[in-house]
Amino acid sequence: MKRNLDRSKVVIKKRNGTRQGRGFSLGEIKEAGLVPSRAISLGLSVDRRRKSTHTHNIEALKSALG
């Protein structure tokens, strides 16, 4: 079963507020218990350039995956 997560769930917090992100970082995907290739096959957007991990993005991944 293929699950698509909306890109709007990826949130980047900045000094002046938040903005929509390009995808989940590799660290966020790994902390949620996925491997990057599985995340891509599930339809998740992956931003390989990002190095940061945000707890709210990890929690969004975990809750969406069940």
pLDDT digits (tens, 9 = 90+) for 1-18: 445 555 436 777 777 877
Q: Which of 11, 17, 19, 14 is nearest to 45 (CA)?
A: 11
Give me the pLDDT at residue 9, please.
62
The pTM of the full predicted model, rounded to 2 decimals, is 0.73
18-64 pLDDT, tens digit per residue, is: 777 788 999 999 999 999 999 888 888 899 998 999 898 899 888 88
Q: From start to end of the chain, where are the E strands?
A: 11-14, 17-20
Say what the pLDDT of residue 23 is.
87
The burial class, CB within 10 Å (0-12 / 13-18 / 19+), for 41 is exposed
Angle at CA of residue 8, ends 62 and 6, nearest 5°: 65
